[in-house]
Amino acid sequence: MNCKPYSKPGTVLPVLIGILTGSVLFFLGDRDDAPGLCLIGLVLGFGLVFFGFHKMNKKFRINVTAPLFFGITGITGVLALFFDGEFGDSPGLFLIGGIVLCVGLMLIGIFNINKIRED
């Protein structure tokens, strides 16, 4: 197995930085009871990890995996915050808007899968 493309600094650094920053921000958000900081850590960490994986292997389709991952994670996050009562006065607006946004992300990922299959 040729490990040369996986050991370049340009491919390994985004993965390591994504894991470190995502973990630190998620831990700090959990410690201070700040779900927004946890979400920022999750999105930033996984975004950098996806970018590093894409640089390692061009067959790894970031335009398919990222929208699907963030759509599924977003729906669970919106529902968890809704049931926790974090939305305040107008929960319906945030609930519907968040779910519509996440379903839109999942549809983008599904359309990209169909576009790849056609090629």
Residue 93, pLDDT score: 78
Same-domain pairing of 98 and 115: yes
Residue where the block lists tokens 């650094």: 13
Same-domain pairing of 55 and 71: no
Residue 52: which domain range?
A: 1-59
Number of domains observed in the structure of the chain = 2
Same-domain pairing of 42 and 86: no
Q: Which of 59, 75, 98 is the last residue of a domain?
A: 59
Same-domain pairing of 82 and 112: yes
Same-domain pairing of 72 and 38: no
For the chain, list residues with pLDDT below 50: none
Write out pLDDT tens, residues 68-95: 888 888 888 788 778 777 777 777 777 7
Residue 112, pLDDT score: 83
Q: Which two tokens stand for residue 91?
A: 């929960």
Kindly report the number of other CB atoms within 10 A of residue 19's CB atom: 15
- Amino acid residing at 54: H
Same-domain pairing of 51 and 66: no
Q: Which two tokens stand for residue 40?
A: 């920022």
Q: Which of 37, 59, 81 is the last residue of a domain?
A: 59
Same-domain pairing of 81 and 51: no
Residue where the block lists tokens 């975004």: 47
pTM of the predicted protein model: 0.63
CB 95 within 8 A of CB 82: yes
- Please give the Cα distance from 71 to 105 (Å, whole number): 5
